[in-house]
Structure 1
Amino acid sequence: MSDERTETVGRSGRLTMRDIARLANVSMPTVSRVLNDSPLVTVETRTRVLEVAQAHGYAVNRNAKKLRQARTGTVAVMLDFASHRHGAIGDPFIFELLAGVSEALSIRNQELLLSPPGLDDTRAFEDFHRARGADGFIILGQGTRDAMLRSLARRGIPMVVWGAVSKDAGYCAVGSDNLLGGRLAGEYFRMRGRRRWLFLGDIRHAELRLRYEGLCQEAAEDKEVTVEYLPIASMAFNATGQTVSAYLAGGAQPDALFAFSDTAAMAAIGAFRERGLIAPDDYSLVGYNNIPPAANFSPALTTIDQKTDVAGALLVEKLMQHIDGGRARSILLPTQMVVRET
């Protein structure tokens, strides 16, 4: 004799929610609540419904489920590939941020969609959001896209940005106090008696421009100090090292270097070493981000700490506030210098 739970179900041979309700002796709304993890169902009922579903190989159609819901439960996380040569990102700092965001999304049962292709302008972002590709966007790095981000904000697209915090941007940003970071680097150079400062980076990026401005503000406190700016075409490690090597080969002799990242600082140290220049004897150096390898590099890097341990959770929290209809406010993270060998 066949058991009640193994009888034929549905004319198509596929188990439906109606079949589950009948076999588990509950209503269809109860089945829906169980499959959507509602807390309004007792443990006993939930167990019985799930046993029936599993016994007949029932699988939730997640795409159909998303279409029925007000939200997709998906967040798109966008990386700034354009700032790296051939779109290859190798900076550990970015992946620390990404790991923090991923963990925070997982805790909230949100899916992470990493850098979907084709989102190159405001219209593409807007179309993707309207097509329910994602509930919102977390953008790791403003890069040179500030104008586009401001445009997205005016259109009400839910997003939060890791980068420079600006009162007039119109969008929520989370980041360190980049201006203060630049001033801290300058204070350190002055304390070490350095006079010929070099800033390494691309000041078209809002974050890096603020760091450069902070450095210049501190330099203005001493008439004997000069600041030179060395732009880079790519944030990639090898490209940065080549840029510094070419600069030094031209006869430049800076006695202090403020690099836009710890990775860039490491590349620069190699270029300086090729010229027989060693930190901290021949020059002082300050990086940015305080990535884990910075403390174990030789020489250990003096750097600006950005508190990545809390950044991911804050980015997700701010985005969820926006998605829920609230007003997410920008926030500056504590910014401090970590003095090591350089």
Structure 2
Amino acid sequence: MADVARRAGVSGQTVSRVANGRDNVDPLTRDRVIAAMRELGYRPNSAARALRSGRFRSIGVIMFSLSSYGNMRTLDAIASEAAGAGYSLALIPLDSATQSDVSGAFDRLSEHAVDGVIILIETHELDEAEIALPTGLPVVVVDSSARYSYPVVDTDQAQGATLATEHLLDLGHETVWHISGPQESYAAERRRTAWMTVLQERGAPVPEVLVGDWTAESGHELGRHLAENREATAVFVANDHMALGVMRAFHERGRTVPADLSIVGFDDVPEAANFWPPLTTIRQRFDRVGESAMRALIAEIEGQSPSGRELVPTSLVIRSSTAVRAPLLT
């Protein structure tokens, strides 16, 4: 920094202001300092700055399932928001959420000297009774239970499931079947509970829940079972990939969508508009979830009060996989 100051003919304090992005430097002076930095190959020493400021400009992310569409979209938004705020990311993927796994992930992140952590684990395993999160470090939890004192950011799962179920009932279907996600998933639980609540409030029968594992294969297997039931005219499926499997099963059985079955998915994956027929679904705003989580964490790092729980709204996207129920032939 002293070499840069001598080359640019300014004080070391001015070089420091430029290196730290301060705006109280004359534009011509700033240009002269930047030119001197380039000539000398100067790069600000992030470790030294961290020692002086107490900030490392780094965020840790602990998450499951890098193959999940929603998780990857959320992570992408977190990364974009972090980059815009001048933070880097240290990613720790996990295969399970045991106490030792989560504690180990925090230990590894401490080696990276992060300013805060975002936890993207949506299973029942992440429960305050089982997982003790370390104190003294800003934390935001994404898509999990509300049992933590940390800020929690989540999609409004109940709103989405309500929209899906009401849409099918409003089309004249006597009831709506449901293919749920795994039992250990908080998201699946909230969607399942909202579906059941709507049926009960509307006085509709509540069919047996069919449980899948988020994959198209499980949707296909359960769809084969559903296709044998002529009373099943409408189904709300907990994600788009399982809905695709259900549609294939009905096609193989010689039954058509939506003439024989109206179907609503959840997520609005990019391919949903190109299913045949195009899939009616609930759109999640994974970008909003990631951005909100990162902003909440930065606010914590900067000493602001935790924001509590934030629910990102969903919306119903109506396409061709749902239709008014045809009258029964007598």
TM-score normalised over the length of structure 2: 0.81
Q: Does the Cα contact within 8 Å between 1:149 and 1:171 map onto a contact in 2?
A: no
1:267 is matched with which residue: 241, 245, 269? 245
Code of the aligned partner of 1:136 = G
Q: Equivalent residue for 1:313?
A: 291
Report the 3-state secondary structure (helix = DSSP H, G, I; strand = E; otherwise coil) of the residue aligned with 1:300: coil
Aligned AA (1:49): V
Structure 2 unaligned regions, length at least 5: 322-330
1:56-108 deviation per Cα after TM superposition (whole angstroms, max 9, x unaligned)? 22333444544544122122334321xxxxxx6152x4333333323222221
Aligned to 1:123: 103
> What's 1:46 paired with?
30
Runs of 4+ in 1 over 6 A off after TM superposition: none
Cα deviation code 1:173-231 (max 9, x no counterpart): 22232223223333233333243613231132111101101111122246662322222
Question: Structure 1 unaligned runs (5+)?
Answer: 1-16, 82-87
| Aligned alpha-carbon RMSD (Å) | 3.1
User: Quick check: 1:216–1:227 contact (8 Å CA) kept in 2?
Assistant: no
Residue in 1 aligned with 2:261? 283
Correspondence 1:1-342 to 2 at 5 A: 17-81=1-65, 89-91=67-69, 93-115=70-92, 121-147=101-127, 151=131, 155-164=135-144, 166=146, 168-191=147-170, 192-195=172-175, 197-221=177-201, 225-232=205-212, 234-237=213-216, 239-244=217-222, 247=225, 251=228, 254-326=232-304, 327-342=306-321
Q: Is the 8 A contact 1:197 1:225 kept in 2?
A: no
Change (3 A) 1:257 1:27: same
Letter in 1 for 2:296: K
Letter in 1 for 2:247: I
User: 1:11 is matched with which residue?
Assistant: none
SS at match of 1:54: helix
Q: Residues 245, 305 of structure 1: CA spacing in aligned structure 2 closer, same or farther, 3 A cutoff?
A: closer
Looking at structure 2, the residues matched to 62 and 174 of structure 1 have their Cα atoms a distance apart, in angstroms, of 30
Number of aligned residue pairs: give it: 315
Q: CA offset at residue 140 of structure 1?
A: 3.6
Aligned partner of residue 23 in structure 2, secondary structure? coil
Partner-residue secondary structure (3-state), 2:24: coil
Which 10-residue stretch deviates more, 220-229 or 311-320?
220-229
C-alpha separation in 2, matches of 1:226 and 1:119 = 33
- Partner Cα separation in structure 1 for residue 156 and residue 130 of structure 2: 20
3-state secondary structure, aligned to 1:76: strand
Q: Distance in 1 between matches of 2:4 and 2:181?
A: 61
State the shift of 1:152 in Å.
Answer: 5.2
Contact 2:64–2:94 (8 Å) recurs in 1: no
User: Which amino acid letter does the alignment assign opposite residue 139 of structure 2?
Assistant: M
Partner SS for 1:146:
coil
TM-aligned CA deviation for residue 260 of structure 1: 1.7
Paired with 2:45 and 2:129, the residues of 1 have a C-alpha distance of: 34
In structure 2, C-alpha distance between the alignment counterparts of 1:325 and 1:333, rounded to whole Å = 24
Match of 1:3 in 2: none
The 1:255–1:156 alpha-carbon spacing in structure 2 relative to 1, beyond 3 Å, is: farther
Provide the rounded CA distance (Å) in 2 between the counterparts of 1:248 and 1:164: 30
Question: C-alpha separation between the residues in 2 aligned to 1:25 and 1:264?
Answer: 66
Q: 1:295 to 1:119 in 2, by over 3 A?
A: closer
CA distance in 1, matches of 2:208, 2:152: 29
* CA displacement at 1:319 relative to structure 2: 1.3
Change in CA separation of 1:336 and 1:258 when aligned onto 2, cut-off 3 Å: same
Give the letter for the 2:242 counterpart.
A
How far apart, CA to CA, are the structure 2 residues paired with 1:126 and 1:148? Answer: 16
When residues 127 and 95 of structure 1 are mapped into structure 2, their CA distance, relative to the original with a 3 A threshold, is: closer
Q: Which amino acid aligns with 1:147?
A: D
* Closer, same or farther: CA 24–185 of 1 in aligned 2, 3 Å: closer
1:18–1:268 distance in 2 versus 1, CA, 3 Å: same
Q: Which amino acid aligns with 1:98?
A: L
- Counterparts of 2:131 and 2:219 in 1: how far apart (Å)? 35
Amino acid in the other structure paired with 1:46: R
